[in-house]
Amino acid sequence: MSHLRTRAVHAGQHPDATTGAIATPISQTTAFGYGTLEHGAAIFAGEAPGYRYSRFANPTVAALEAKMADLEGAPAAVAFASGTAATSSVLLGLLRPGDELVFLGPLYGGTEGLMRSLGERWGIKVTDATASGLAAALTPATRLVWVETLTNPTLRLHDLAEVAALARARGVPTVADNTFCTPCLARPLELGIDLVLHSMTKYLGGHGDATGGIVAGSEALVGAVRKTGMGHVGGNLAPQEAFLFLRGIKTLPLRMAAHCEGALAVARFLAAHPAVRAVHYPGLECHPQHALAQRQLQEGFGGMVSFELARCERAAAAAVLDRLRLFTQAVSLGDADSLACHPASTTHSFVSAQTRAAGGVTEGLIRLSVGIEHPDDLVADLEQALRAVA
């Protein structure tokens, strides 16, 4: 099972031992009978295998964790009720007061907001190393480095092998949020990153009908995150949602190919449009990190495109967004349906105006999640919407 397309279908899932059911059954139960007091005690002591309570582990969720561990090339994975539950469990599980957390931005606004809020309340210094570079930001107190594989919303990249090598030399674990790329386009663990995190809400689910998160990496790091995330935060994924992700991931490679094809067509159209000042898409030759993108990304450049209007103001963005028909105005991304949003007032409203400015999140920036519809129809929709500012 070496090909990702094959593993996306089969990894973690086997016909049910009792019934032969091919679709993994939804184990809709809170607790599991363990028979005798001593057997129950052994499970709780970690001395015997077995399920006990769905907040700790559940068979449907375990199948999803096994599938994602396989796709990311990780020994272990732990699933959460949202990407944010995954993020907060990593932070709470691996950091303590006095530690320093360094990130390379820009990041999803909610992630940076969460880091800053937790940092302030729990005495953890949070350093944005985007401008200075990672080497200058690492100190003896640094305990975690955080990056996104394609940044939200301006589609920048970081050289993951370089980030991993720098942090490893200091013994600092690294986390890569791989939500925008999925394992189809990027596999950070192969480049030396220690933990991969996803909001499964996006491409992994793929149909805009479930929220979830996952963290994959070594047994030791994932074990620490699981202990905090399940034992203390209680951020476990529900089995019905796990079923939706198992189903969604089977078609992930096929959907990603369509997202990438559509996004490239949309990006090329926008780049040639006079009402557009800048297009952010790593597949365009004009992207400042196109060479790194070609080296680091596989099979395509992703389904997200953002662009800045020549009339770089909120009213212009509103005029274009309000006229779109096929693109639904909404946050989130990675759905079969195309979506469009204004990051400054939505996804990045959780960070300061200064952070938005530094990250290029201007009032005239529009973010597109290009769905799997025919690219010609998407381009036609953008063409008619852009007449609002022509």
Report if residue 211 touches ligand 7XF, rule: CB under 6 A: yes
Q: In what order do the strands lie in the sheet with 76-80?
A: 76-80, 213-217, 195-199, 174-177, 142-148, 100-103, 125-128
Contact 73, 222 (CB under 8 A): no
CB of 214 vs ligand 7XF, minimal distance in Å:
10
Cα–Cα distance for residue pair 367/343, rounded to 1 Å: 7
Among 127, 142, 152, 355, which residue sits at the site for ligand 7XF (rule: CB under 6 A)?
152
Go through the chain and tell me how many residues it has: 390
Report if residue 154 touches ligand 7XF, rule: CB under 6 A: no
Element (H, E) at 332: none
- Helices 252-271 and 239-250: crossing angle, nearest 10°? 70
> Which of these segments, 6-14, 33-41, 55-63, 326-334, binds ligand 7XF (CB under 6 A)?
326-334
Report if residue 105 touches ligand 7XF, rule: CB under 6 A: no
Report if residue 333 touches ligand 7XF, rule: CB under 6 A: yes
Among 32, 108, 203, 281, which residue sits at the site for ligand 7XF (rule: CB under 6 A)?
108
Among 65, 72, 100, 148, which residue sits at the site for ligand 7XF (rule: CB under 6 A)?
148
Comparison of 24 and 111: residue with beta carbon closer to ligand 7XF: 111
Closest C-alpha among 125, 83, 128 to residue 356 = 128
Total binding residues for ligand 7XF by CB under 6 A? Answer: 18
CB half-sphere exposure, 292, CA atoms < 13 A: 15
> Which of these segments, 17-25, 106-114, 118-126, 250-258, binds ligand 7XF (CB under 6 A)?
106-114
Task: Please report, as a single letter, which amino acid is at residue 223.
Answer: G
CB of 152 vs ligand 7XF, minimal distance in Å:
5
Q: In 165-225, at which residue ranges do the beta strands (DSSP E only) sit?
A: 174-177, 195-199, 213-217
Task: Please report, as a single letter, which amino acid is at residue 363.
Answer: E
> Which of these segments, 41-49, 104-112, 185-193, 243-251, binds ligand 7XF (CB under 6 A)?
104-112
CB half-sphere exposure, 364, CA atoms < 13 A: 14
For the chain, count helices (H), then strands (E).
Answer: 15, 12
Catalytic residue IDs:
55, 108, 177, 202
Handedness of CA 316, 318, 319, 325 (dihedral sign): positive
Comparison of 194 and 335: residue with beta carbon closer to ligand 7XF: 335
CB of 2 vs ligand 7XF, minimal distance in Å:
28
Report if residue 106 touches ligand 7XF, rule: CB under 6 A: no
CB half-sphere exposure, 192, CA atoms < 13 A: 15
> Which of these segments, 32-40, 123-131, 304-312, 329-337, binds ligand 7XF (CB under 6 A)?
329-337
CB half-sphere exposure, 374, CA atoms < 13 A: 3
CB of 339 vs ligand 7XF, minimal distance in Å:
8
Contact 189, 259 (CB under 8 A): no
CB of 111 vs ligand 7XF, minimal distance in Å:
6
Report if residue 331 touches ligand 7XF, rule: CB under 6 A: yes
Report if residue 179 touches ligand 7XF, rule: CB under 6 A: yes
Instruction: Enumerate binding residues for ligand 7XF (CB under 6 A).
Output: 82-84, 108, 110-111, 148, 152, 177, 179, 199, 201, 211, 213, 331-333, 347
